[in-house]
Amino acid sequence: MTASPSSTLILGAGLTGLSAAYHLGDPSLYRLIERDDGVGGLARTRRRPQGFLCDGTGHWLHLAKDYTKGLVGKLMGDNLEARARKARVYSKGVFTLYPFQANTFGLPKEVIAECLTGLIKARYEEQLPAPTNYKEWVRKEFGEGICQHFMYPYNRKIYGVPLEDLAVDFAARYIPRPSVESVIAGALGLSKEALGYNAQFVYPKRGGIGALSEAIHHGAPRKAELGRKPRTIDLELKQCAMADGEVIGFSRLITTIPLNDLITLCHRGRPSSVPAPILEAAQKLRANSVLYFDVALKGDPKPHQDYHWIYLPEDDFPFYRVGSYSAVERSLAPAGHRSYYVEMGHYGEVDPSRFEGPMLDGLRKLGIIEDDSEVLFVTPNVLSPAYVLFDAHYVDARRTILDWLEHQGVISVGRYGRWQYNAMEDALLEGKEAAERILGEKR
């Protein structure tokens, strides 16, 4: 069966695809296809036993643009609240304020001295050549002490690859670069908690971050078709063949699925339509995966169990971060309980069963679990892809594919559609821009 080819086909009902649908604003203009059994993609909240609600690890909204503030305000009504970050770093057996580089107070004196002298040397004495990779970039920015005690081990844990493999400054947007004065103040215990892009955030009062995805879906004029997988895409005939046999014709394609998967679908649909350099470029795109465990515990939290999230640079802990859903929003766990997510970065295949025991040991060491009788359940989840790897091939491979898709009339947007490091606000905006392109063409 071939459907009407006059409308836009949107692949993926994460925030980008949902935003595209919402902004197209007319049910006759699109169909929205999602392979999962619910909308939201990464920004989805899952119901766990006994009333626990768990996001896909911490998903906190940072809204910088007036448009997104207005949009989210309109969609969420009173179901949104501003929160002030309560984050810590745990290393050398102590909790320090985040970010590490600006808050060494409380660490052993030798460590503080190494961090301060390293930073001062890096800023005023060392004449290091221009960095050629991420490891050299953090070294030049922060100096030897901060790198040894935090930047090197933490980043290795999150990305799962050697830091020499990564490009110079891809994460600069997310890494606070404090002045020497504030680093000294932070070493003396004089710093305030607010630094970095995520010092404040907003979050729903009810329903987890999935409430935002549900709200934008609710506002979209035509609902997502859930549990539906494309099998092939023929860009010449402008047809998407679904796994269930339907063939969907389209005039325009907005895709938010991972770029490499898209190329595979197009190649399967019509091998001759995908040139060899595009196939080669798709094979060069790399991303890590994040294994995370949702952990439900009995008992109200004590203060050190109630941080919003904790960064763990040391190899003694298999995870790079543990966060608490219920510390941010109490209603995400039933009364008298608390809930956590524990994140580990990997490159390549990962077997969750190997990590559950070491993960629980880490939570015991941190004092988050005080007694094993507190553990209600532990649920492993894998996000793959999770963080796109900005390696030596990244810029060329991504550009080659995106230029080619543009030439084919395909609009590929979103975190994995553009193969980038972005946030929920960006996803909302990219979906809107994709819709506006289509609407502009129709005028």
Ligand X SMILES: Cc1cc2nc3c(=O)[nH]c(=O)nc-3n(C[C@H](O)[C@H](O)[C@H](O)COP(=O)(O)OP(=O)(O)OC[C@H]3O[C@@H](n4cnc5c(N)ncnc54)[C@H](O)[C@@H]3O)c2cc1C
The site for ligand X (CB under 6 A) is made up of: 11-17, 33-36, 41-43, 57-62, 229-230, 256-257, 261, 290, 383, 386, 414-416, 422-427
Tokens standing for residue 428: 């909302």
Among residues 144 and 294, whose Cβ is nearest to ligand X?
294
Torsion over CA: 127, 161, 287, 408 (sign):
positive
Among residues 251 and 384, whose Cβ is nearest to ligand X?
384
Largest CA distance in the chain: 72
Among residues 15 and 376, whose Cβ is nearest to ligand X?
15
CA distance 407 to 410: 7
Among residues 59 and 149, whose Cβ is nearest to ligand X?
59
For the chain, the distance separating the N- and C-terminal CA atoms, rounded to the nearest angstrom, is: 30
Taking the complex as a whole, the smallest distance from the CB of residue 290 to ligand X amounts, in Å, to 5
Taking the complex as a whole, the smallest distance from the CB of residue 63 to ligand X amounts, in Å, to 9
Taking the complex as a whole, the smallest distance from the CB of residue 387 to ligand X amounts, in Å, to 6
Taking the complex as a whole, the smallest distance from the CB of residue 342 to ligand X amounts, in Å, to 12
Residue nearest to ligand X (CB): 14
232-253 exposure pattern, b = at least 16 Cβ within 10 A, e = fewer: bbbbebbbbbeeeeeebbbbbb
Among residues 9 and 122, whose Cβ is nearest to ligand X?
9
Taking the complex as a whole, the smallest distance from the CB of residue 68 to ligand X amounts, in Å, to 10
What letter would DSSP give residue 130?
P
Taking the complex as a whole, the smallest distance from the CB of residue 416 to ligand X amounts, in Å, to 6
Nearest in space to 367 (alpha carbons), one of 297, 320, 313: 297
Q: Beta partners for 53? A: 47
Among residues 41 and 118, whose Cβ is nearest to ligand X?
41
Beta strands 94-97 and 87-91, pairing class? antiparallel
**With contact defined as beta carbons under 8 Å apart, do 293 and 278 qualify?**
no
Torsion over CA: 75, 38, 296, 61 (sign):
negative
Among residues 35 and 123, whose Cβ is nearest to ligand X?
35
CA distance 245 to 401: 28
Taking the complex as a whole, the smallest distance from the CB of residue 27 to ligand X amounts, in Å, to 20
